[in-house]
Structure 1
Amino acid sequence: MSDPRTAIVLFSGGQDSTACLAWALDRYARVETLGFDYGQRHRIELDCRQVVRRALAAQFPHWAARLGDDHVLDLSLLGQISDTALTSERAIELQANGLPNTFVPGRNLLFLTFAATVAYRRGASVLVGGMCETDFSGYPDCRDNTLKAQQIALSLGLDTPMTIETPLMWLTKAQTWALTQQLGGDALNALIVEHTHTCYLGERGALHAWGHGCGQCPACALRAAGHAEWCASRPGAGAGAA
C-alpha cells in the first residue's frame, strides 16, 4: 500500500529530480511538484519540467492518478545576490575554498524552506529532494547532516512534522540510472534521456546516449560517466552499450 501522505517534490526537470519524482509517485498517495525560477543560466530546465510531467502521466497511468498540481516560485532575488557560474555567463572553475563556482550559497536551504511553506498550505508533510553526498561537487547544502538539521528546524518552526526525503543521498549516478530502471524500466530511462535537462550551460543540441547537453560541463560529464557505468554493468552489456 502507498504511504497516505502528500509529498512535495523539488522538481527542476533534471535527471535527479525526475528520479525523485518517480520514487515519490511509487510511494505516496498524492505527489505535487515545485520548481524555482532563480535566474539560472540553464533556465531551459523550466521548460523541460512540463514535458517530463506530461510524459510521465501518459506513459505511467498508475502514477498519473497520484500526480497533483505543479507550482513554480519566482526566486529571482537569489540570482540577483549570487555571483556564480549558474547565475551568470562565466567559466566554470574551482574557487579558493575548494568549491566549484557553480555552488549557489543557500540555494537548497531556501528551496526547502519555501517548499515547506507550500507544503504547509497544501496539507503535505513530506519534502523530496535530489540532494546527494556521493556523486556531488562538495556542496555543503547537499550533505545529509545539513538536511537532517533543516528537517528539525522546519518541523519546529512550523510546529508540525515535516519529513525531508533524499532517496539519492548515498547513490552514485550509475546507481541512480539503476533506480529509475527498477522503478519504470526502459520506458522511464528513455524518457529521462530524451526529456530531462542537466547541462549547466543550458545546451539542448545533440542527443547523446545519456541525454541532451554540451558534454563538457561537470553536470554533463557526471551524467555521461554514470550512464556508461550503468550500461556496462547490465547483464549482456557489450562494448557499444554506453
Structure 2
Amino acid sequence: MDIITHHPDVYLGSIQPYEGGRPSAIAKRLVEGAVNLTPLGLEGDAQAEKSYHGGPDRALCHYPREHYTHWQQQFPAQAEQFFAPAFGENISTLGMTEHSVFMGDIFRWGGALIQVTQPRSPCFKLNYHFAIDDISLLMQQTGRCGWLYRVISTGEVSGDRPLELVTRNSDISVAEAISIAWHMPFDEEQYRRLLAVTGLSASWSKTMLTRISSGKTEDFNRRLLGR
C-alpha cells in the first residue's frame, strides 16, 4: 500500500501587511534542507488569523502543483502569479491530488507523522491576494482546494524526504469530502459519514454537527467573500 510520491517542495512564511486587506502569511518562500516540524507546523512558519488558519488540526497546508496550469488558463492576464506557493501552501507535490488522497490518511514524512484532517476551506483573503474577486468561490466550486494536516509525531522533515502513506483510515477522498460539504444538497447521512472519519478536524466536526442539529447548510458567503 505504501505510496511514495515525488519529493515535496517545502515553504514557510511570516505575516505581512496587505494594502486594502488584512495582514496575512500567505506569501511563502522555499526552504532548502531540514526543518523542524512542531505540533503547530513548520518552525518559522506563521498564520495571521488563528481562528481560520493554523492550530493543531491545520498545522500544514498541501496544494497540488497540478492545479496551477488550470488557474493559468483561467486567468491568462495573471498567469505569472500562478506557481507554487501562490496559495500559501507549505507542501507542494506532483502526483498527489484531492482524488488520490483520503480523509484521515497518515503519511510518514522524514522523522514525522502527519494526518489529513480536512480539505482547505477557501476564504476571501485569496481574493485580495490574487486581486481576483471570486477566486475563493472558484476554488470551492472546482474542488481545487488542497488539504490540511495535523502533526501526529514531530520530527525533522525536508524536501529530500518523500511522503509515504502509512495508514488509510477512510473511504472518503478529499475530493468527495469537498463534494459532500459544498457541492451536494443537504444530506445528513453523508455528514455522518464525514463525522465518522478518524482524525477529522474539530472545525469540520463542528460544522457537520451544526448542520445536523439545525437541519440546514451554513451561508458560505462570509468565508468566501468576506460578507
Coarse TM-score class (shorter-chain normalised) = under 0.3
Structure-2-length-normalised TM-score: 0.26
Structure-1-length-normalised TM-score: 0.25
Quick check: which one's helix share is greater? 1
